[in-house]
Amino acid sequence: MSKSYLVAKNNVIEEIVVNRSRFICYLTPCSSIDTVKTFLKEIQQQHPQASHHCYAYLSERADSSQHYGFSDDGEPSGTAGRPMLSTLQGHGVGEICAVVVRYFGGTKLGTGGLQRAYGASVRQALTLLMSKTKIPMVSRTLACQYTQINDVLHVIEKSEGIVVEQKFSDSIELKVKLPEDNLEITEQKIQIISSGSITLGKIDTLPDDK
């Protein structure tokens, strides 16, 4: 079962200078690799003369073991993307992409210096990041009588669920999205108010389900 987690809420631009090299970090909310590609392309177009455009991203929760990626973009292996990613993961906010643009200042920093500089660039930008709580939702369907609808809607509202679609015929059919972490309690409440006559059915994933 997926639990609620923090995700990025705003865009950030922050710059640091290390031995005359400029490191400009861009942060943006991100939930897919397509978002990363589009964002990276925009930054590359804004800074065509930069020495490097390195990135790291988390497309789900911060502690996900699968949904992440990074690139050193020509910097020595392990000196840019990996420390950027580690900094993002350590901050504990998911669904975020960081792109660090470097303008070389004429002084080589060495592998350790690069790792510290890229990590520090992201760390400084993260001080300006705002976050929000994301509640994973699941899709369900149910059918109830007209005399039950007010009680059903009350339970859905109290559980912070959303009614996606309603169909009216001999009964009322609802498609709803409910928080996954308290789905079992919501099902129990609906069973109680309907004396067991209403059950939640699984349906195909609705748009924006995570």
Query: 150-165, pLDDT tens digit by residue?
Result: 999 999 999 989 999 9
The yes-or-no verdict on residue 47 having pLDDT over 50 is: yes
**Residues 129, 103 share a domain:** yes
Which range marks the domain in which residue 187 is found?
A: 136-202
**Residues 75, 60 share a domain:** yes
**Residues 84, 38 share a domain:** yes
The yes-or-no verdict on residue 206 having pLDDT over 50 is: no
Q: Name the pTM for this structure.
A: 0.77
Question: What is the rounded CA–CA span in Å between residue 65 and residue 85?
Answer: 12
Which residues neighbour 63 within 8 Å (Cβ) at sequence distance 6 or greater? 89, 92
Residue 122 lies in a domain: yes
Residue 208 lies in a domain: no
**Residues 154, 85 share a domain:** no
Which residues neighbour 128 within 8 Å (Cβ) at sequence distance 6 or greater? 12, 14, 27
**pLDDT band at 180, cuts 50/70/90?**
confident
Question: What is the rounded CA–CA span in Å between residue 107 and residue 102?
Answer: 13
Of all residues in the chain, what percent carry a pLDDT higher than 70? 96
- Give the total number of structural domains in the chain: 2
**Residues 165, 100 share a domain:** no
**pLDDT band at 210, cuts 50/70/90?**
very low
Q: What is the pLDDT of residue 136?
A: 87
Question: What is the rounded CA–CA span in Å between residue 88 and residue 86?
Answer: 5
Q: Count CB atoms within 10 A of the CB of residue 14.
A: 19
**Residues 92, 192 share a domain:** no
Stretch 13-27: mean pLDDT: 97
Query: Cα Rg for the chain, rounded, in angstroms?
Result: 23
**Residue bearing the bigger pLDDT, 92 or 205:** 92
Residue written as token pair 């748009």: 207
**Residues 198, 162 share a domain:** yes
Q: Domain boundary at 92, 114, 133, which? A: 133
Q: What is the CATH number of the domain that holds 176?
A: 3.30.70.240
Q: What is the pLDDT of residue 204?
A: 61
**Residues 109, 28 share a domain:** yes
**Residues 144, 125 share a domain:** no
Question: Cβ-count burial of 89 within 10 angstroms (0-12 exposed, 13-18 middle, 19+ buried)?
Answer: middle
Residue 46 lies in a domain: yes
**Residues 194, 90 share a domain:** no
Question: What is the rounded CA–CA span in Å between residue 31 and residue 22?
Answer: 28
Question: What is the rounded CA–CA span in Å between residue 83 and residue 186?
Answer: 42
Residue 210 lies in a domain: no
Q: What is the CATH number of the domain that holds 52?
A: 3.30.230.30
